Amino acid sequence: MFKRFKTDTLNWIIIIGVILLVIEIVFFHGGNLFNAVFAAIFAYIGWRNIHKLWGKIVFWIFLIGFILSVLNMMAVRFLIAAALVLFMIDYTKKNKGEGYLAPSLPGTENTQGRTIRLEPLFNHKWFEDQFTDETVYGWRDVNIHSGFGDKVIDLSNTVIPKDTAVISIRHVMGKIEIYVPYDVEVSIHHSSIFGRAHIFEAHHWKLVNKSLLYQTENYDTEQTRVKIITSILSGDIEVKRI
């Protein structure tokens, strides 16, 4: 449904939602946002111990609290109302028989080339650990954002192309582990609000709103290399040879 509306319309909805969120933070002392963050943290703790009885109880209690806190936020209520209005407009136009035409440029129908859709290694997950296959797998660049859990990427089970492979991960809470073969050059740009970083021989035991940039000695001259860009709210990153 949202694909049929102009980008400007969706952008204005997002801008208004952000303004409402800022108003709630500034004038209502965070309101339900802080409650949602607090509930999300304890829901994650419960999920990590879901095999225990107390873990199940903590997870479901704080998951429900998180959902209720999010639904009580002004910005979220506005986005839900906007989605319902857009759905009604779209439904009305369909019943009236109004069609939607995809834009096309003259003379470009046969010059765009053929594209092939590929399956990514990772998809966006809010509450889940993710690992690369333990068997040999075909390489795909990684570009994801995620919520809670661990992300493990083992590059020893794939073949890095003779070019720059890219790993981009934006994460809320958890641990990121990346295992790199010895014959691959690496560049790492990591940002963290709270956490630790272990990048080969470099160890940072306390990161508070820091950004780190490392690269191996021959990164600029070798062809087989990996560019790692990560950002995390609270958690650790470990990059090591294997």
Q: Measured between alpha carbons, how far is 26 from 15 in angstroms, rounded to an integer?
A: 16
- The verdict on residue 11 lying in a domain is yes
In a domain, 108, yes or no: no
- What is the count of structural domains for the chain? 2
Distance between CA 237 and CA 182 in Å, rounded? 19
Say whether both 29 and 89 belong to one domain: yes
Specify the DSSP class assigned to residue 133.
Answer: -
Supply the range of the domain harboring residue 181. 130-241
pLDDT at res. 5: 55
More confident residue, 21 or 67: 67
**Assigned domain for 192 exists:** yes
Predicted pLDDT at 70: 84
69 falls within a domain: yes
232 three-class SS: strand
Q: What is the pLDDT of residue 89?
A: 75
Q: Is the domain of 75 the same as that of 137?
A: no
Does pTM surpass 0.95? no
pLDDT of residue 189: 93
Is 121 contained in some domain? no
At residue 9 the predicted structure's pLDDT band, cuts being 50, 70 and 90, is: low
Considering the domain architecture, whether residues 147 and 230 belong to the same structural domain is answered as: yes
Cα 66 from Cα 58, distance rounded (Å): 12
Structure tokens at 93: 């136009």
What pLDDT shows up at residue 229? 92
Is the domain of 71 the same as that of 141? no
- Residue closest to 158 by CA, chosen among 187, 129, 134: 134
**pLDDT for residue 110 is more than 60:** no
